[in-house]
Amino acid sequence: MTDAEKKAKNAKKSAISVFFEEVSRSSLIVPILAILSGLLLGGILVGLSSESVYSVWSQSPFLAISNGFKAAWESYVTLVTGALGSPSRIIAAIQGGDGLEIRRAFNPIFESLVRSIPYIFGGLAVSLGFRSGLFNIGVEGQIFMGGIFSVWVGYSFTGLPALIHIPFAFVAGALGGALWGFIPGLLKAKTGGHEVINTIMMNYVAFRLTDWLLREPMRREGSTNPLSPIIEESAMLPQFFDEPIRFHFGFFIALAVAALVYWFLFKTKWGFDLRTVGANPHAARYAGMNIVRSTIVAMSLSGALAGMAGANELLGVNHHLSQSFSPGYGFDSIALALLGRNHPLGVVLAALLFGTLRNGATRMQAAAGIPIDIISVMQAIILAFIAAPAIVRTIFRLKEPRKAEAEIHVRGWGGS
């Protein structure tokens, strides 16, 4: 086939096939298909675990399969209405005019936003690390450190005005997280100890530290449970609505911080240094960049962002420290950061998705008896597909992308 013939053939392509080709070469297609595959496999899991499948299996396998589909569909409907609210209820509430009922009807969507706030911070933390060539797997521990510091400031200082107390507690949380990021950063920069191992170890040190603090020095007076005292009212992040909506000011802080991270990474010299060190440390060293400093700065900043997640969660929602205030936000954030392509805007969008999923799954657990852990399974699948785009492209028979898909490479244990 000559070039001319090829051109003629291309010209004959219909608009639809051009559209499909464009779509299949686009870089957005992989994340979207990853999310869809996660939802699909989650649905299969729900169907497989449904009682109605097995009870009729011996009579009619066909009925059993259709029951499975029905169960999966109903669960997802519960998930969506649980996460976004049901339109009929909202309309009825507005017509009824009762304030409490209106707030209840709108609560799901606000709750989804509340759930996504720690994800925004956590995702920013992980992606800032990835951008700098560092895999911060210790976000969970840094969240706990942020929580410890902010709650301590929150309950032990009394009589401060809210305008001082809130920023004080929030910054304390960020510092707590930063400390937990700084140590592995320093170890990496000065001794070459791999940050993945060190941050994993720091996670468990943070968990044990939390156990101890809640057992002895920080335990609420008169309480037999491992709970810290409730923070002063002046340290609580302001909420915008009455019960039961918990939507609070932290959401706007999160968006502002995301914008700040974008500005820092892409518009400042420091951010440029971090990204260069992340993309090619040898070139960065050759260009005279200070790799030691940039590693320490990146890990500390990443830790600080994670610490803010903890501070936000405790100052805005829980108001006290407990052993289980984070249901694994830090680990989910890894999938989330990659889903958001390590870009602050992408991270915010992915965080909104994960927050919605988690909130919906909570409702689904209560209403349909599907354990909330199903979203971990979905997240694992999303993460696998995002990290190995070749799998998605093989399964869905997509064309090769025009641009090389960004691959994350953490350097081996040796650090070279």
Partner 1 sequence: MSANTATLEAGRIYVSQTRRRAMGVIFLGIAALIWLVFIRGIDPEMTTTMRLYPGGSTVVIEDWVFTTLDALQILAFACAVLGSYQLARGFGKRTGLAVSLIGGMFVFAFLAWAASGGMLNLAGMLRIMFVRSVPLTLGALSGILCERAGVVNIAIEGMMLTAAMIGTIVGSLSTLWVGLLGAVIAGGLLGLVHAVLAIKYRTDQIISGTVINIFAVGITSFVSAKFMQTYPQINDPGIFSPYEIPLLGQIPVLGPVLFRHNIFVYAMIFFVILITFLLFKTRWGLRLRSVGEHPKAADTLGIDVFKTRYMAVILGGMMAGFAGAYFTLGSVGRFDQMMTAGRGFIALAAMIFGNWTPVGAMIAGLLFGFSDSLAANLAVLQVQIPSEFLLMTPYVITMLVLAGVVGRGQMPAADGTPYEKEEL
Residues that bind partner 1 (CB under 8 A): 45, 49, 135, 137, 187, 190-191, 193-194, 196-198, 200-205, 207-209, 211-212, 215-216, 328, 331-332, 334-335, 338, 369-371, 373-381, 383-384, 387-388, 390-391, 407-414
Minimum distance from CB of 31 to partner 1 (Å)? 15
CB of 360 to partner 1, least distance (A): 16
In 3D, which of 380, 268, 337, 303 has the Cα closest to residue 130? 337
For the record, the structure tokens of 165 come out as 């107390």
The values of phi and psi at residue 239, to 5°, are -100, 155
Of 292 and 380, which has the nearer Cβ to partner 1? Answer: 380
Of residues 186 and 230, the one with the C-beta less far from partner 1: 186
Q: Which is nearer to partner 1, 27 or 86 (CB)?
A: 27
- Shortest Cβ distance from residue 407 to partner 1 (Å)? 8
| Nearest to partner 1 of 84, 205 (CB atom) | 205
In terms of CB distance, is 85 or 355 closer to partner 1?
355
CA distances from 118 to 5, 164, 333, 358 (A): 56, 22, 9, 12
CA angle 175, 178, 184 (to 5 degrees): 150
Minimum distance from residue 411 beta carbon to partner 1 (Å): 7
Instruction: Pick the closest to residue 176 from 159, 200, 151 (CA basis).
Output: 151
Tokens describing residue 131: 């951008």
Least distance to partner 1, CB of residue 166, Å: 30
CB of 217 to partner 1, least distance (A): 10
DSSP string, 221-267: TT-SSSBPPPPPGGGSPPBSS-TT---BTHHHHHHHHHHHHHHHHHH
Q: Give residue for tokens 């009824």.
A: 96
Closest Cα partner for 28 from 250, 383, 340? 340
CB of 128 to partner 1, least distance (A): 17
Q: CA 276, CA 295: separation in Å to the nearest integer?
A: 11
What lies within 8 Å, CB to CB, of 372 at 6+ separation is 358, 361, 362, 364, 365
- Which residues does 150 contact at the CB level (< 8 Å), separation at least 6? 169, 170, 172, 173, 176, 235, 307, 310, 311, 314, 315
User: Residue 409 has which token pair?
Assistant: 């490479």
Q: How far is the CB of 253 from partner 1 (least distance, A)?
A: 27
Q: Please identify, using beta-carbon distances, which residue of 240 and 413 lies nearer to partner 1.
A: 413
Closest to partner 1 by CB, 179 vs 370, is 370
* Nearer Cβ to partner 1 (48/91): 48
Rounded Cα distance, 249 and 253, in Å: 7
Q: Residues 137, 299: contact at Cβ < 8 Å? A: no
Question: Minimal distance in Å, beta carbon 201 to partner 1?
Answer: 4
Which CB, 257 or 381, lies closer to partner 1? 381
Nearer to partner 1 by Cβ, of 238 and 371: the residue is: 371
Least distance between partner 1 and beta carbon 65 (Å) = 19
Q: What is the DSSP letter of 328?
A: S
